[in-house]
Structure 1
Amino acid sequence: MEESAKTVAEHASFQAFINSYLREGGNCGRWIRSKEWIKENPTAVNLTGINVIELVLIEHSKKFVLEIKYRSIVGRHLVGVPLKYCSTTNQWVREDRLIVMMTLIQELHLLAKRKGYIGFVTHYDELIVRLIESYHTMTNYIESRICDSEKLYSVNSTFIETEQSLLFGHWLHPTPKSRQGMASWQHKNYAPELAGSFQLHYFEVSREVIEEESILNQKASEIVTQSLLRTNPNLDISKESCVIPTHPLQAQWLLQQDYVKEAIDAGQIKSLGTMGPVYTATSSIRTVYSFEEDWMLKFSIPVKITNSLRVNKQHELKAGIVMASLFRKLPFLQKHSTFHIIEDPAYLTVHLPGRKESGFEIIIRSNPICEKEKHKRGFSSVAAIAQDPLPTKKSRLFQLIETIALAEGRTVKSVSLDWFKKYWNCAIEPLILLYDEHGIALEAHQQNSVLDVSNGYPESYYYRDNQGYYLSKDYEQALCFTEPTLLHTPELFYEDSLIQERFTYYLFMNQLFSVIYRFGADGLIREEKLLQYSKLQLRLLEKRLHGQGKRFVSTILHQKKLSYKANLLTRLHDVDELSTALEQAIYTKVENPFVPVKEGERAKNLSLTF
């Protein structure tokens, strides 16, 4: 019998939350073989998983037991039935998944309070609200797309279809579909999962308050105007003004702001309404795409997605320009022809008195995939390739491997290893080399990482995100010599200790391990095999590297614990990482799968350290 959308969403929400808790909570549990546990614990529930994990809730004086259907070395387990002990019947019985999640949130809250983490005490209610909201949103998305598996997972999906396929969201986040600030009726048009389309809201703005920059042959305002005139050729725009597009969600917010109303009354801004080309949301929601347009557009929107309110900061506008210019001057992209940067080479905004950001900030992003997809399909983020499929369906990665195996007459295991090797060569290794040679680390998590798999195997890697550049202070002099405008963006430079903490999480924990997990969970090839290959490649790299990359790889290979972005604790503390000093979320340490751990040590508790 086919599961309901609500049941599927509850299960997916539970996977996301429990895996976050197991990594970040004050009690990561005790692992026990199911057969051994059942011998000593009466239950009428049929447990098919090989393992269970026992969670002791000190503050609640109770225990939960979770069935583990798939135990992952890289840290994302498939969790089955949750059980609680019933003292009345002296048996272990099923517990509702939502109740388990609520109880664990309360446990973290009470534990933080007892340990004196005052900042946590007042924000657990916010986490509960986001958890429920994420669950309801996911239910809505699944209900709308549950019969749409061809577009969701097909190897022939277009880029935008893969962008709109992430029904479950961030694989290690407790509230993966939290969309605070987006009304229920707005999801139909603006949520990528619902595959809606919409026109942008345009404003005519006096040039005296316009701020723009571009390293292209055209100004940002010219790109926008030409795009609009193609669909609205009779539009009359004064020479003393230009048009600025905004996301409809942002336009609604802007028109309610007093400083915008004052600019409208002063004749500096005029609302033109919705018009122009039709766009659709990519997986980030605020970056929009049109098959007919040469540029993607990245907006500010008044919506909190996962950890943060998604707005374009002034320094990010400039970062996109500077980094696009820098990469054009470095020889790295020419040396590594399968590695690409999706540029943000122009921006446009309105400068109003007393406002660092006016809310009109728009980033113009290159759209190399648009031209390529006119000839072939097969561009997909790593997130779309590695995501869990709907029940009874096969993941996009599984279908890619199966298609190749059938075409080549080979086993899925041998094809899987070759696929992973090609992925490593075009995605993982160049990112490490870039850091070693030039001191540039990228926030290369799975959603920021796009692969060209149009021929089945990964052929090219594309990085996107102007918020995700980390430049080493050790390389500052050389980089500024190459690109002098970096002198005006000192906020791009970081100490290597911080860079390597973040790079560890984004490149390994978030991206590489998600791919390894998918292979293992799909039964294509064992995680151990891919970890062995990765470890061998890291050892070979360590011998070749000479800069900060060598220290970074050494840490990955030898440290017992690696840095991990604690999204659950970040949410519990209600940290908006984009508005904190150094845009810092809460980080903790988790076991390093490259370093063997004795079975008894694997169940040690994690502490609430950050």
Structure 2
Amino acid sequence: MHNSAKSIAENASYQAFMNCYIREVGDVNWVKKNELMKLSKLPYILNGEEVLELVLPLQHIRLIIEVNYRSLVGKHKLGTIYKYHDKELVWIEEEPLNCMISCIQELNLQAKNNNCNEMTSHYDELILRLIDSYHTICTYIEKSTSKSNHKKVEEYSFLESEQSLLFGHWLHPTPKSRQGMATWQHDLYAPELKGFFQLHYFEVDQLILKERFFVEEDSSLVKGEILKITGDGRYLFPMHPLQSQWLLQQEYVQKAMEDNLIKYIGPMGKAFSATSSIRTVYNKEDKWMYKFSIPVKVTNSMRVNKVHELEAGVVMAELFNKMDFLQKHKCFRVINDPISLSLNLPGKMENGFEVIMRSNPFQEGKGGGVHSIAALVQDPLPEEQSLLEKLIQTISRMHQISPEEASFQWFQKYWHCSVEPMIALYDEYGLALEAHQQNSLVDVSNSFPTHYYFRDNQGYYLSNSKRDELEKLVVNLKNAPELFYDEEIIQHRFTYYLFINHIFSIIYRMGEDGLITEDRLVNWMIKELQKLEKALSGEGKRFVHFILNSKVLPCKANLLTRFHDVDELLTDLEQAVYTSMPNPFYLMLSMNKKEKNYATASSV
């Protein structure tokens, strides 16, 4: 295949979408290639030992999809598609885009047959986002300056890593869908294109300003750093340029301007760049990162700061300050959101002026070699290596060990500085983290992991069973009831974010890159989890038991969430659509037990 930007983008879109469809929806059969060739007499040469047979019964279509790599825990690397239609009675090679649209149409027909008319209305929305994501990836590849980047992984700056995600969310059908961002705006505001911009400012009356603080320094001094005071005693309030333009169109903002409560000033000050989330912006000299609302739908949701999130960031900063957990786990760190700003405007609880201030531990001279897991495990461009593979090969050469042994040691060190502390945190305090790939940062400046960082004030789940104890530690938790959940919900979300989205992506990446088998890492994790189950006593113990003994694991269904047009940030408990997937731990334990029984029987 000619590796044009268009073909690379089409393949990336196809891999993302079809893996979601297979996981969440598809009537799928795994077939040995030799058996298939005997039965179907396909006029094509197929790669790999197995193929996927996918049936779209409502369209009378049968698809055969090559599988170039089958993963136990993650996504499969898919190849060429062959289609058979009952009316045509002949196999033809199918284009990836046509295949994806056929799958969306199957969802649409299923919804119609089940009289779910409210769901069929989102058929066109999903196609729109699919095309938007595909075109966006294509644009980013065409304009990317990271192609053939020979820089050492250990030497990336924090921002360079944040700007390296060309393909996006590995478990999402439309990973680079960005509805609401005009084509010309990507150059400035998309992290992948490495733009930079000034913040826009509003002059606001101090009577309508509301700030929330939990900082160790004098809060008035911190406030003075962030909000400059004008000559007439008003504050300069920062805003993302995209959001400021949206705000200026709102009637309630125009009314506040007429009443002289707000005055639009425009762009000023130092330049900021978008991090991987787009709406959190960074300047290497600034003590704070700014997390804004923006009028853009990114993957599943319109990116809007909610008032309870503003409260959550501040109260969670206080909670981590009161606990001794971080002192006991020196390699585990939390990037706090200890300050939030908003405006009180008549009749509007949330009005778009909500701003979250995130601590910036990666100021100039710091943050070298700190990467999100999403950046490390991202599929490489053709003829290149993933960042994780580059890292492992460096370790292999430096320490004169095999890539397999380097991978095993890297994974062990990462587990001990990230996963073990997170499960211990849940066990001791009933606090689970939404530790997906993008929220998870690791310091690999010394090649091996040395520190793990968690970020995101949308990602805290406190167990109702620990509510009284936690509220004694931090009284203000009583003002943040949205942080508390029942244990079953936490188990499901923690399973998805920590294991399926996060740890499994590392295992998949190492396996697909040919560094180490997935089986070896899963078997090692089973032993570690069994040790933890014995050592723990609370929520963590029950969580580990659930992970090891469930036949299936709860998995967020991003395709179905998208098809139903669910904005999870606006639903009760911020609940997306969930499905289930086979549990690799349970499968491996069952397989090991069968092999052990077979070996015992053979030796008798």
Same fold (TM over 0.5): yes
2-structure distance, mates of 1:525, 1:538: 20
1:603 is matched with none
2:458 is matched with 467
1:31 is matched with 30
Residues 486-518 of structure 1 show CA distances to partners (whole Å, capped at 9, x for unaligned) of: 011111111001111111100011001000000
Of 279, 282, 289, which aligns to 2:272? 279
Distance 1:220-1:288 versus aligned 2 partners, 3 A rule: farther
1:329 is matched with 322
Q: Is the 8 A contact 2:361 2:367 kept in 1?
A: no
1-structure distance, mates of 2:33, 2:381: 26
2-structure distance, mates of 1:579, 1:152: 41
2:479 is matched with 488
Of 237, 241, 244, which aligns to 2:234? 241
Kindly indicate whether residue 358 of structure 2 is the aligned counterpart of residue 365 of structure 1. Answer: yes
Distance 1:376-1:433 versus aligned 2 partners, 3 A rule: closer
1:309 is matched with 302
Kindly indicate whether residue 191 of structure 2 is the aligned counterpart of residue 189 of structure 1. Answer: no
2:552 is matched with 561
Residues 98-133 of structure 1 show CA distances to partners (whole Å, capped at 9, x for unaligned) of: 110000011012113323444422212111111111
Structure 1 segment 54-453 matched on structure 2, within 5 A:
54-85=53-84, 91-145=90-144, 148-150=147-149, 154-216=153-215, 223=222, 226=225, 237-370=230-363, 374=365, 377-453=368-444
2-structure distance, mates of 1:216, 1:240: 24
2-structure distance, mates of 1:291, 1:514: 29
Which amino acid is 2:114 matched to? K
Q: Is the 8 A contact 2:550 2:583 kept in 1?
A: yes
2-structure distance, mates of 1:179, 1:375: 31
Unpaired runs of at least 5, structure 2: 592-604
Q: Is the 8 A contact 1:86 1:93 kept in 2?
A: no
Residues 28-48 of structure 1 show CA distances to partners (whole Å, capped at 9, x for unaligned) of: x11112232223333343322
Q: CA deviation at 1:92?
A: 2.3
Q: Is the 8 A contact 2:404 2:515 kept in 1?
A: yes
Q: Is the 8 A contact 2:434 2:494 kept in 1?
A: yes
Q: Secondary structure at the match of 1:113?
A: helix
1-structure distance, mates of 2:81, 2:393: 33
Of 545, 551, 554, which aligns to 2:536? 545
2:469 is matched with 478
Percent identity, please: 52
2-structure distance, mates of 1:89, 1:104: 19
Distance 1:151-1:340 versus aligned 2 partners, 3 A rule: farther
Which amino acid is 2:486 matched to? E
2-structure distance, mates of 1:250, 1:18: 34
2:571 is matched with 580
Q: Is the 8 A contact 2:153 2:369 kept in 1?
A: no
Q: Is the 8 A contact 1:221 1:242 kept in 2?
A: no
Distance 1:243-1:147 versus aligned 2 partners, 3 A rule: closer
Residues 231-286 of structure 1 show CA distances to partners (whole Å, capped at 9, x for unaligned) of: xxxxx713531111100000000011111111111111111110111110000000
Q: Secondary structure at the match of 1:479?
A: helix
Distance 1:244-1:375 versus aligned 2 partners, 3 A rule: closer
Q: Secondary structure at the match of 2:383?
A: coil
Q: CA deviation at 1:151?
A: 7.3
Which amino acid is 2:283 matched to? S
2-structure distance, mates of 1:439, 1:377: 33
Q: Is the 8 A contact 1:152 1:165 kept in 2?
A: no
1:534 is matched with 525
2:21 is matched with 21
1-structure distance, mates of 2:186, 2:224: 28
Q: CA deviation at 1:564?
A: 0.5
Q: CA deviation at 1:91?
A: 4.1
Q: Is the 8 A contact 1:434 1:441 kept in 2?
A: yes
2-structure distance, mates of 1:280, 1:224: 22
Which amino acid is 1:540 matched to? K
Q: Secondary structure at the match of 1:149?
A: coil
Residues 378-405 of structure 1 show CA distances to partners (whole Å, capped at 9, x for unaligned) of: 0000100111111111000000000111
Q: Secondary structure at the match of 2:80?
A: strand
1-structure distance, mates of 2:558, 2:148: 29
Q: Is the 8 A contact 2:83 2:91 kept in 1?
A: yes
Q: Is the 8 A contact 1:41 1:91 kept in 2?
A: no
**What is the root-mean-square deviation in Å for CA atoms of aligned residues?**
1.9
1:46 is matched with 45
1:4 is matched with 4
Q: Is the 8 A contact 1:228 1:276 kept in 2?
A: no
Q: Secondary structure at the match of 1:400?
A: helix
Number of residue-to-residue matches in the alignment: 590
Structure 1 segment 514-533 matched on structure 2, within 5 A:
514-533=505-524
Q: Is the 8 A contact 1:12 1:168 kept in 2?
A: yes
2:598 is matched with none
Q: CA deviation at 1:357?
A: 0.9
Please, what TM-score do these two structures have when normalized by structure 1? 0.94
2-structure distance, mates of 1:143, 1:220: 46
Distance 1:185-1:152 versus aligned 2 partners, 3 A rule: farther
Distance 1:529-1:133 versus aligned 2 partners, 3 A rule: same
Of 560, 570, 575, which aligns to 2:561? 570
Q: CA deviation at 1:433?
A: 0.6
Q: CA deviation at 1:295?
A: 0.8
1-structure distance, mates of 2:138, 2:69: 24
Which amino acid is 1:21 matched to? Y
2-structure distance, mates of 1:171, 1:41: 33
Q: Is the 8 A contact 1:564 1:588 kept in 2?
A: yes
Unpaired runs of at least 5, structure 1: 230-235, 600-610
Q: CA deviation at 1:88?
A: 8.5
2-structure distance, mates of 1:88, 1:205: 67
Q: Is the 8 A contact 1:49 1:80 kept in 2?
A: no
Q: CA deviation at 1:90?
A: 5.2
1-structure distance, mates of 2:255, 2:367: 49
Q: CA deviation at 1:158?
A: 1.1
1:602 is matched with none
Q: Is the 8 A contact 1:42 1:92 kept in 2?
A: no
Q: Is the 8 A contact 1:213 1:220 kept in 2?
A: no
Q: Secondary structure at the match of 1:150?
A: coil
Distance 1:320-1:147 versus aligned 2 partners, 3 A rule: closer
Q: CA deviation at 1:213?
A: 1.4
Which amino acid is 2:100 matched to? M
Which amino acid is 2:22 matched to? L
Q: Is the 8 A contact 2:568 2:574 kept in 1?
A: yes
